[in-house]
């Protein structure tokens, strides 16, 4: 069942999920997914959430361009650095108790923030692929169930809270949460039941 409370982390996770299911960029379009209803709905959800949380994409028409814009963090340099002070403070605190020391003249500005954000978003995409590792394994066979057991022991111990917080707060510093019903009524969020359609499609 899909969550009814939606936030910027929802967008991050939906992008990662869609890329896991649809790795080729040429397939990141409504036209390419017209014959695959579950992926088409996912793409429409992503498009809606990007428009809501990243208004800087308004000049882009193609959803593929919007997804890449979010992943690469192109919107960051267009924002007011004051709204990102909390994120920068946590970055500086984390760096302060590492082996890396602040050098004279070094500063965490918007450009540096983007340089950290983009690779970490791509890391999140790779992490999502890893966490979905067992979805491609036929795990109902005793002879190979050990693969699932060992890999799940590792996967289930991954804690991405700091990463998730970093990405989601940069996307939406206000940390807004929307009810799905509100998104449907006000922002043209797809109202189809993705779980139900996925079951029919399977």
How many domains are contained in the chain? 1
Q: What are 27-76's pLDDT values in tens digits?
A: 999 999 999 999 999 999 999 999 999 999 999 999 999 999 999 999 99
Mean pLDDT, rounded, for 6-33: 97
Is there a domain that residue 151 lies in? no
- Beta carbons within 10 angstroms of residue 87's beta carbon: 19
Is there a domain that residue 187 lies in? yes
Is there a domain that residue 146 lies in? no
Give the position of tokens 């890396």: 100
Is there a domain that residue 58 lies in? yes
Query: How many angstroms separate the CA atoms of 87 and 167, rounded?
Result: 10
SS3 179: strand
Is there a domain that residue 149 lies in? no
Decide if 52 contacts 66 (C-beta within 8 A).
no
Is there a domain that residue 142 lies in? no
Containing structural domain, residue 84: 5-132+160-201
Query: How many angstroms separate the CA atoms of 175 and 184, rounded?
Result: 19
Is there a domain that residue 89 lies in? yes
Mean pLDDT, rounded, for 148-156: 90
Mean pLDDT, rounded, for 150-161: 93
């Amino acid at each position: 069942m899909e969550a009814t409370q939606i936030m910027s982390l929802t967008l991050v996770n939906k992008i990662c999920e869609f890329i896991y299911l649809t790795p080729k960029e040429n397939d990141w379009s409504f036209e390419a997914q017209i014959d695959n209803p579950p992926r088409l709905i996912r793409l429409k959800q992503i498009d809606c959430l990007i428009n809501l949380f990243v208004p800087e994409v308004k000049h882009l028409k193609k959803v593929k361009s919007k997804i890449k814009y979010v992943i690469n963090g192109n919107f960051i340099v267009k924002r007011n650095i004051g709204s990102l002070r909390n994120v920068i403070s946590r970055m500086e605190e984390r760096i302060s108790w590492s082996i890396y020391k602040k050098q004279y003249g070094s500063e965490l500005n918007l450009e540096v923030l983007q340089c950290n954000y983009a690779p970490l978003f791509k890391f999140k995409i790779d992490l999502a692929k890893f966490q979905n590792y067992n979805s491609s394994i036929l795990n109902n066979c005793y002879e190979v169930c050990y693969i699932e057991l060992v890999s799940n022991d590792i996967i289930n111990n991954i804690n991405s809270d700091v990463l998730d917080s970093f990405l989601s707060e940069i996307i939406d510093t206000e940390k807004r949460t929307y009810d799905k019903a509100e998104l449907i009524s006000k922002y043209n969020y797809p109202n189809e039941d993705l779980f139900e359609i996925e079951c029919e499609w399977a």
